[in-house]
Every structure is written in structure tokens, then in C-alpha cells.
Amino acid sequence: MKTRHKRMAFILVGLAGLATAAGLVLNALNSNLALYISPTDVLAGNIPKDKAFRLGGMVVEGSLKRQDDGLTVHFDVSDNVETVTVAFTGILPDLFKEGTGVVTQGRMVNGLFKATEVLAKHDENYMSPEVAEMLEKGEKANQAATGAMAP
Amino acid sequence: MAFKNSIAWYYFSSPKNFYPLAGRLIPWFWGLSVILLVVGLYMSFFVAPTDYKQGESYRIIFIHVPAAWMSMLIYLVMAVYAIIGLAWKLRMAEMMASALAPTGAMFTFLALWTGAFWGKPTWGTYWVWDARLTSELILLFLYIGYISLQSAIDDPRRAARASALLAIVGVINLPVIYWSVKWWNTLHQGASVSPTMEPKMASVMVTAMLVMTFAFWMYTIAVVLMRVRRTVLERESQTSWVKALVGDRVENSSAGEKQ
């Protein structure tokens, strides 16, 4: 074995050891590396006590309601299993919409999540408005077709 | 065939032979980079359609994603050169590794910067400590640490060895950046384009993004070759070939001043 091969092997073994260590550390820190907590975990009580945390999920369609003061909004955040109602006073980001992702920061007060910050989470799909419209039409046609067949 | 290749590899691993090769290649990479940049920017702004959700603000993707890809690719190449430099004790590999770092740091900064200005209008914030953003910031710190460590040690061989170790250890961060959006929940969305699946964006958008990526790539090669040529002259300044090369120029320029 030549010296340079020995050195090469030494570097590669070292790197493999380091990767394993990093993997174990990241795995141990798993829950701390998550940016937000899902509604299911929130309702199960897996939240930091007396501390603000982030709640993330989808804004439920038709759940956005503006309160009488004109500034406060209530909306439901769901992970398709459980739902938490969020109250927020302030300006919502441009991409905030029903049916899209959201990450909010705040704390639980009597079963209501009082948010101090609302961030919109967008997905990885990009297309022109024309294509989006076409897809939506196709979806509706599909739904109508399956709906007609169901009964 | 393999024998012939290995001869070329050893031939150009000598700074004396690499220096003129790099000099001949630089204009070609600059040319390619400019052409690709013009085509890429034209496609980004005039050919690619508006996004159905984000409108025009999504167009920053054509700088943001290529810059982020390059920041990771450059680090990987830098680490490979660092390993070769350590194991084979090749001066040329050491110099290539250190020449890559500033450009890598620049693209990392560009990715973070464009990301912040994209995040404000879309997410509603410049910055959030999610796994993707934080690990990319760590990449910037790795580049800065690498450059600082190298300039803190006077002896170039020792500087190269110490910083190579840092570069190799930092490689662990690359898969963390790349898969962070998959492993943990983040505000940053998942990958739109990846080698393992169909792109989740209109094909003209993907093309524009790839053209921009190649433009950045060619730019990187051109700039890094220029930087490495300067390093070669610095580190080999005691050799006869550099003295002959520089001596000629000094004589020429002093002759020019006299006229």
C-alpha cells in the first residue's frame, strides 16, 4: 500500500466516521430541527409549556373569518387529521390563501391559538396562470365525472 | 489509453504546465459564460411565463436556485481538491481548492440574499431559522472560516493542509442542506427540480434555470482559473520558470518606460 493510498484511506474512514456521528446527532435533535408543530401534536399536548411555538399546516377552505374589528382574522389550520383555530391581528402575507400552507407563531390560549406572526408557505409548483386554469378545469371535470358515477 | 490519460494528468498537475493551459482556457470560459448569461437572462425575463400564484416575483428563482446549486457544487469540488491535495500532496490541487473558496462564498451569499428578498413578499419574512436557511448560512460560515484559516497561517503548505481538513469536515453539511426540506418540516418549499423526479415547474422555466446555472458554472471556471494563475505566480515565485516569465515582463515594461 502506497503512502498516498494510506492517507486517502485515512481521510475516507475519517469522513465516514464523521458522517455517522453527524447522522446520530441530527437524528437525536430531530424534533428540535422541525420549524413547526402539527395540529395533531398540539392537541395531543406535545408543545412547549408557557412558551411561544410555531404551528404549521393547511388553511382549511372556507374557514377564514374576519372579526368585527376589521383587523383580526380567525382561520382553521389542519394537517388533515386535527384542526386548530388561529386568531391573528395584523396584515396577512400576499400568498396567504385558503387551501395553502401556513406557519404561524404564537401560543395556545383556552383552545385558541393566538398568533403574533403568520407566514405563508408556498409549494414547489410553478406554472403559468393559463396552465393552472386548465388543470383546475380538468380537476373539476374529473370530480364531476366521478360524482356522476358514484350514485 | 489509460496510460496516455495518466500522463496528461501528471503533466498538468505541475504548476509550470498548468499555468499556460489555464491562460488559454480562460477566454473560452468567459465567452461561454457571457453567451449563456445573455440567453439565460432573456429567457428568465421575457420567455418564461408569469407564475399562477406568485406573479412576477417568482422570477428571482432564476438567480436564486442556480446560485444555491453553485454554492453546494463549488464546495463539493473544493473538498475533492482538498482530499487530493492532502493524499497526493499535489500543490496544484491545494491551489485549486483555495481558488474556489471566494467564488463559492459569493454564490452562497447571493443565494441567501436573493432568498431573503424573495421571502419578504411571498412568505412574509426575510429570514426564518428553518433547517434549509440555517444550513445554507452554515455553508457561508464554512467558506469564510476556510478563507480565514488559510490567510491566518503564513506557510502556504501548512495553511493548505489545515484548511483542507476544515473543508473535508464541512462536506457533512452538503447533504444536510440538500435534503433538509425533506428530513424536517421547514418554511422553505421542497425541490422543484431534482434528478429523481419530473420537474414541478413549466419546462421553459426549467430550461431558463439550467441555462443560468451553466452560465454561473462557466463564470466560476473562468474566475477560478484566473485566481489560481495568480496563486501559482505567488507560490512559485522562487522557481526559475516564474522568474523567467516575470523577468521578461519587467524588462519589457521598463524598456517601455524609457521610450
**Predicted local distance difference test score (pLDDT) of residue B257:** 53
pLDDT 10s digits, B66-111: 999 999 999 999 999 999 999 988 999 999 999 999 999 999 999 9
Locate cell 395531543: which residue? A44
Q: Is A126 on the interface with B (CB under 8 A)?
A: yes
Reported confidence tier of residue A148, pLDDT bands at 50, 70, 90:
low
Return the residue in A29, A124, A130 with the most chain B beta carbons within 10 A, the one to mutate for interface testing. Answer: A124
Give the pLDDT band (50/70/90) at residue A7.
confident
More confident residue, A94 or A146: A94
- B124 vs A119: CB contact, 8 Å cut-off? yes
Q: B81, B117, B187: best mutation site toward chain A, by most A Cβ within 10 Å?
A: B187
Q: What is the pLDDT of residues B136-153, one digit of tens each?
A: 999 999 999 999 999 999
Residue B229, C-beta contacts closer than 8 angstroms, at least 6 positions apart: B19, B22, B23, B26
**Candidate from B86, B172, B185 with C-beta closest to A35:** B185
Q: Give the whole-angstrom CA distance, residue B184 versus residue B132.
A: 9
pLDDT for position B244:
87
What grid cell was written down for B251? 524588462
- Residue A64, chain B, CB below 8 Å: the answer is no
pLDDT in tens, A52-95: 899 999 999 989 988 888 789 999 999 989 999 999 998 888 88
Say how far apart CA B26 and CA B229 lie, in whole Å. Answer: 10
- pLDDT confidence of residue B137: 96
One-letter amino acid of B3: F
Who has greater pLDDT, A113 or A131? A113
B121/A94 Cβ within 8 A:
yes
Q: Does B54 touch chain A (CB under 8 A)?
A: yes
pLDDT of the residue at B97: 96
Nearest CA in chain B to A20: B172
Q: Is B131 on the interface with A (CB under 8 A)?
A: yes
Lookup result for grid cell 428530513: B183
pLDDT at A109: 86
H or E element that contains A42:
helix A39-43
At residue A149 the predicted structure's pLDDT band, cuts being 50, 70 and 90, is low
Mean pLDDT over the full length of chain A = 86
Q: Do A35 and B187 touch (CB under 8 A)?
A: yes
Number of domains in chain B: 1
Encode pLDDT of A26-36 as tens digits: 888 877 788 89
Please give the pLDDT value at position A142. 80
Q: Which residues of chain B have pLDDT under 50?
A: 1-2, 258-259
Among B54, B61, B87, the residue with its CB nearest the CB of A95 is B54
- Supply the pLDDT for residue B31: 97
Residue B100 counted as domain residue: yes
CA distance B255 to chain A (A): 48
Residue showing cell 391573528: A88
Q: For residue B196, tell me if it sits in a domain.
A: no
- Contacts of residue B169 in chain A, CB cutoff 8 Å? 18
**List of chain B residues whose C-beta atoms are within 8 Å of the C-beta of residue A126:** 51, 54, 58, 61, 192, 200-202, 205
| Mean local confidence (pLDDT), A103-108 | 91
* Distances from the Cα of A112 to the Cα of A80, A120, B58, B207, B229, angstroms: 18, 20, 34, 46, 64
Asked whether the beta carbons of B58 and B126 are under 8 A apart, the reply is no
pLDDT on residue B250: 67
Kindly state whether residue B103 falls inside one of the protein's structural domains. Answer: yes
The partner residue sitting opposite B189, judged by closest CB among A94, A119, A123, is: A123
Q: Which residues contact A116 (CB under 8 A, 6 or more apart)?
A: A52, A105, A106
Q: How far is A114 from chain B (nearest CA, A)?
A: 18
